[in-house]
Amino acid sequence: MSALASGSGVNGVELGVVLFFFVLVTIGGFLAARWRRGESMQSLDEWGLGGRGFGTMVTWFLLGGDLYTAYTFVAVPAAMFATGAVSGFFAVPYTIVAYPIVFVFLPRMWSVAQRRGYVTPADFVRGRYDSRLLALAVALTGILATMPYIALQLVGIQAVLDTMGLGGSGNTFVKDLPLIIAFAVLAAYTYSSGLRAPALIAFVKDTLIYIVIIAAVIYVGVKIGYGEMFSAAKTKMTTPSPTTHLPPGTFLTNDNSYWAYTTLAFGSAMALFMYPHAMTAVMSSRSRGVIRRNTAILPAYSLMLALLALLGYAAIYEVGKGKMNVFGQDHVANAQLAVPHFFDAVFPSWFAGVAFAAIGIGALVPAAIMSIAAANLFTRNVYREFIKPDATPKHEAQVSKIASLVVKFGALIFVLSLDRQNALNFQLLGGVWILQTIVAIVAGLYTRWFHRWALLLGWAAGMVYGTVAAYRQTVPVVVTKLVNGEAVTTTHGTRHFGSSLATFPFTHTKLYIAGTALVFNLLVALIVTLVLRAMRVPAGTDQTAPADYYADVPSEQVTRDAKRTVAGAEAGSPGSAASPG
């Protein structure tokens, strides 16, 4: 029985189970420093990429833990609960579409990164186009897009804390203290163990999630019945809302909406592996074959995602039967509470605690990887490039460790100072931003035809258009609150960044804003490249070679640099800076 519903305060059993798993992964996080450890942790290769030695199974769990986050666990069924299958199942097709796309180019990225010692995608852009500014643009975009993504993981944890009775509207510091402690511990073991910590913890996180989802699917089939569940969902989705006077599931009302859905799914699929944390997980693999195998087997997570989405409909059924609600301790309705409250209402407290632990750990794993990826970008493409060009590998690793702490606590401040909807809106904007790096990165893996200045101007055009277009999408702020036992819905003005969709210029067709921005990005890059090539403007020196894109081992120069780093660390000397090319 829900602690929230019964008024009994904190559920001790649930809290005890969550604390047990939290302590377990904390111990694992610190011990990970010795797991698969290389000869030295005094470089970004070791700390930030786990020694570039993860095999198929570790990479599978790492990428799964990286891409299928706590917010995924909470938000996908929440969308099913609130608006139906069109928006709720959206994540399933786009994650499936992503893998054939990345199967083509990710092995090439891994090879050139391994061959040249690149740690970040911006390193590749720097070497390919001989442009510090273009690499800086890619790096800052990655950092900017990652920050709200980390913050959203905290939203998932907040939903769990609220359900267990640790949220509410009391003293702000006391209310947020569990979240602060969790991130402080996360920061400590990530600082110590680097990428090995989330790689090891991902085993626990994904195992728990699969157990929880399988148990929930069996429960729905045995205790509710899928026919009853879909019937309850149909009733809700066909009943007009008192505020919009439209059914909650209304979306595909005309042919234009199909274009919106298609571009949103395809654009999201292209953006998924552009995020720095996804690239970091890929670069930590030990061979091209590991990348190929993972793009073939990772769709298993999409099957899990489809089953998870159905829990949103199960929550609709339970709400209809009066067994649960989605009102938080502040008495405000929040669809993101649908899954936590569902487990709290229908399962024994100990199993609900397991589910909450899965969500909580599901936040810690991607948050760790994201912070490491953002820190690597700052260290390699901002600090070393513009502040200390002679930084040694040991110094780089130290700077990246400190930067990862700043990123984590920056995200913590971000989510604690903004409401949940703003955090979500900024994450959607992050998708618009990160897609603008695809021309420089993916096109660069196949051709150097684009001019470096053209790519920079194209990136700027896409960023400006995408940000402005997203800002102009306003939606009413509708709040449903429980007053004297009755749900009261009120409207409080409008909110910017209210949608990922906007009308394509000079048409009446709505498309994904990031996709439209990418079109402008590509057009500017094409036109300016033609102009600059006609003017014979220097295009810089390509530091890569054709064979680099097929290699399965690092170059002799990178190997020599790594050996010098190890020798320098063992001797207590600063070591030798790795060659940028």
Sorted by sequence, the CB contacts under 8 Å of residue 515 that are 6+ apart come out as 263, 264, 266, 267, 435
- Three-state SS annotation for 52-96: HCECHHHHHHHHHHHHCCHHHHHHHHHHHHHHCHHHHCCHHHHHH
Q: Convert the pLDDT of each residue in 145-170 to its tens digit.
A: 998 888 788 777 888 888 888 765 55
Here the tokens at position 389 are 């060009």
pLDDT at 480: 77
Identify whether the C-beta of residue 248 lies closer than 8 Å to the C-beta of residue 84: yes
When computed from its CA atoms, the radius of gyration of the chain, rounded to whole angstroms, is 24
pLDDT at 574: 43
pLDDT at 416: 73
Identify whether the C-beta of residue 448 lies closer than 8 Å to the C-beta of residue 545: no
The three-state secondary structure class of 498 is coil
Identify whether the C-beta of residue 32 lies closer than 8 Å to the C-beta of residue 196: yes
Alpha helix (H) ranges present in 332-451? 338-346, 349-378, 393-417, 420-434, 438, 444
Q: What angle do CA 482, 327, 250 make, to 5 degrees?
A: 95
> Residue 542: how many CB atoms within 10 A of its CB?
14
DSSP, res 489 = E
Element at 492 (helix H, strand E): strand 486-495
pLDDT along the chain (581 residues), means of 10: 51 89 89 67 85 89 83 84 82 88 92 93 96 96 89 80 72 67 86 89 88 90 90 86 66 63 89 92 91 90 88 91 83 85 92 91 88 95 94 91 89 71 72 95 95 97 95 81 75 79 88 95 97 94 92 65 54 42 33
Q: Measuring CA to CA, how many Å separate 34 from each of 28, 184, 196, 346, 371?
A: 10, 21, 9, 41, 21
Side chain identity at residue 477, one-letter code: V
pLDDT at 423: 63
Side chain identity at residue 280, one-letter code: T
pLDDT at 535: 95
Q: Counting runs of H as helices and runs of E as strands, what totals does the chain give?
A: 25, 4
Cα separation, 138 vs 458, in Å, equals 12
Cα separation, 142 vs 385, in Å, equals 16
Nearest one of 458, 451, 452 to 437, comparing CA atoms? 458
Domains in the chain (CATH in brackets) are 12-370+394-405 (1.20.1740)
